[in-house]
Amino acid sequence: MASSDQIQSPETTNLRLLLLHRYPKFKTMFLSKLQTRYQILDPLTEPEPSPLSGSVRVMLCVGPTPVTSETLNKYPNLECIVGTSAGFEHFDLNECRRRGIIVTTAGDSFSDDVADFAVGLLIDVLRRVSAADRFVRAGCWPVKGEFPLAFKVGGKRVGIVGLGNIGSRVAKRLEAFGCTIAYTSKRKKPNVSFPFHSNIHDLAINSDVLILCCSLTKETHHIVGKEALTALGKEGIVINVGRGALVDEKELVQFLKRGEIGGAGLDVYENEPNVPKELFGLDNVVLSPHMAVFTPESFQVLEELFSYNLEAFFSNKPLRAQIEFE
């Protein structure tokens, strides 16, 4: 990380100013490249308020670092936020709209990788791959004999919550496995042949599997709770690659402990990095540490996107993956 002396050095003062907005724990592998193109203002490395705060026109927001009205107050001339996260719940979009600030996201940079991971979690839960691995490593095979039967993937009725960039890719992949697809979304998608259900209950009662791919909003918070889990049924599977708070985690834990649903594959949680300890001993649950998006390939696509958007902003060209305010 460059020091404040480096940032303020005469060699960089002719560069365009870029605000780097991030959590302290977030490091950016792209910083060295950015420093060749921009004068970086990183509030974590120099005291606030910076004399440059009033000159900032564009922010690079790393991951889901919150951008609140208090954040925006520090940069009165901010015009654009270039995001690197697929989600947008960390932005105060109402305040951005009020101030006329353009906001972009990672778009579909991560979509293929997250879709792959969702399918991987589903296969793992149904075929008990991780549980079988533990069975063998623990030396149980010679002692206990045959491993319990697992379940077929093909033929499952898969309900997708959010048929956007990720959800549509999940659907395409699982169609190839012979699954039947239905979905619920904010609105029915034109030119989509899959059955549409206007609410989560109707989708769940007609599905063997629910895969959550939607954004976290006030409307989708705890969209999968007691009612949806009951409708899904005793053999139902929940896969979550969206956001942890899409699921009422306490209810999910209780349903799994009581054997009232068949299993779960979770990449996201309500209070990350804390995961309910009750899940650790359940062989029908597959857990991962919010890693579905992380591949070298997805980061390369992301870098290309945000680099384009930064240059487009300074060149007064249209930006990609821009949020359309409602």
Catalytic residues: 243, 272, 290
Quote the CA–CA distance of 208 and 191 in Å, as a whole number.
25
How is residue 176 written in tokens? 């190839």
Quote the CA–CA distance of 321 and 86 in Å, as a whole number.
9
SS (HEC) of 214-273: CCCCCCCCCCECHHHHHHHCCCCEEEECCCHHHECHHHHHHHHHCCCCCEEEECCCCECC
Q: Is omega for the bond preceding 273 within 30 degrees of 0, making it cis?
A: yes
Quote the CA–CA distance of 179 and 174 in Å, as a whole number.
6
Phi-psi region of 316 (alpha: psi -120 to 50; beta: other; left: phi over 0): left
Is residue 113 a contact partner of residue 133, using CB atoms and an 8 Å limit? no
Is residue 190 a contact partner of residue 167, using CB atoms and an 8 Å limit? no
Contacts (Cβ under 8 Å, ≥6 apart) of 284: 125, 128, 131, 256, 262, 263, 264
Quote the CA–CA distance of 136 and 142 in Å, as a whole number.
9
